[in-house]
Amino acid sequence: MLTLTSCENMGTKEKIGTTLGVITGGIIGNKIGGKDNKVIGTSLGIAAGYFIGSSIGKYLDEQDKQRMAQSTQQAITTGQTQIWTNTENKTSGQARVVETRKEPKPVVVPILKSKVKQIPPLDIIGDTYRAKSISNVRGGPGADYVKTGSLNAGETVNVVGKVKTSDWYLISQDGVGSGFVSAPLMEHAPGTIPPPSGTIIAQGDVAQQQVASERVCRTIEQSVSLPDGSKKSETIEACQGGDGWKVKS
């Protein structure tokens, strides 16, 4: 499974929609196509060759591409440098975290108009979470807001971000913001794919809302050491989005 989704108007605002579940499992980037940034989400075992930089990928076999892809994914999501070695062909590589920083970045979030009226400033997360128990979904970040739904124990959803001023998550289902859940009721569930809700959402039910936000960006240097003693490297930059990490072109 390989999903590429372009972002609109990245210079001033970033469009959020697709649930992270679609792209959990391998969010690795490469400089693919023109001026637009690309969201790259893929199963590591199938599509490793697509997102290893061409200057490196052409020197690696399929297994080593997969090793590099997994290392880069882990470096991007954890912020820690990752190292791999293939003892059979004496190839090794690393994904080194060069820089981690926070950027203020307004985003545009699609929301269900009937459930979410206003979104306060967010710290972007863009990852899959699981409900620890039956949890209320509310129209705003607080127990005094109207209940708009609920999550069953063990149910997974995409968390777009955490409200800056309170311990509440904005969640999205089927790629659309559907309400807020108290953060202590949720647990991180990386690698899990939230199932579709089965609800048909009409275009008229969805509004696009611009939200003040802050996101984490990381610069990653991918490098390999080849059996002949030569080294190849490439640097990429990835930033958090409400639907996962996006790699800048």
Indicate whether 18 and 49 sit together in one domain.
yes
Q: What is the CATH number of the domain that holds 122?
A: 2.30.30.40
Is the predicted pLDDT of residue 111 greater than 70, yes or no? yes
Mean pLDDT for the stretch of residues 195-213: 89
CB 175 within 8 A of CB 194: no
- The per-residue b/e assignment along 201-210, b for 16 or more CB within 10 angstroms, e otherwise, is eeeeebeebe
Higher pLDDT, 240 or 32: 240
Indicate whether 14 and 87 sit together in one domain.
yes
Q: Which domain holds residue 51?
A: 2-102+217-248
Amino acid 48: pLDDT: 37
pLDDT digits over 160-193, tens only?
999 999 999 999 988 899 999 999 999 999 878 8
Amino acid 179: pLDDT: 96
Indicate whether 189 and 143 sit together in one domain.
yes
Q: DSSP label at 2?
A: E
Q: CA–CA separation, 245 vs 111, rounded Å?
A: 20
Domain count, the chain: 2
E strand or H helix at 166 = none
Q: CA–CA separation, 244 vs 230, rounded Å?
A: 34
Indicate whether 153 and 240 sit together in one domain.
no
Q: CA–CA separation, 159 vs 132, rounded Å?
A: 14
> What letter represents residue 18's amino acid?
T
Indicate whether 188 and 229 sit together in one domain.
no
pLDDT digits over 12-50, tens only?
333 333 222 223 333 333 322 233 333 333 333 323 334
Is the predicted pLDDT of residue 129 greater than 70, yes or no? yes
Indicate whether 166 and 181 sit together in one domain.
yes
Q: What is the Cα 167 distance to its own chain's centre? A: 20
CA dihedral 84, 72, 96, 68 (to 10 degrees): 30
Q: CA–CA separation, 181 vs 142, rounded Å?
A: 8
Indicate whether 203 and 138 sit together in one domain.
yes
Both structure tokens of 30: 């490469």
Q: DSSP label at 205?
A: G
Give which of 132, 117, 236 is closest to 188, Cα–Cα: 132
> What letter represents residue 133's amino acid?
S
pTM of the model: 0.66
Indicate whether 47 and 119 sit together in one domain.
no
Give which of 152, 155, 157, 179 is closest to 168, Cα–Cα: 179
pLDDT bucket at 201, cuts 50 / 70 / 90: confident
Indicate whether 124 and 170 sit together in one domain.
yes
Positive/negative CA dihedral, 208, 13, 16, 192: negative
CA dihedral 161, 164, 167, 172 (to 10 degrees): -20
Both structure tokens of 20: 């992270």
Indicate whether 239 and 153 sit together in one domain.
no
Q: CA–CA separation, 51 vs 245, rounded Å?
A: 13
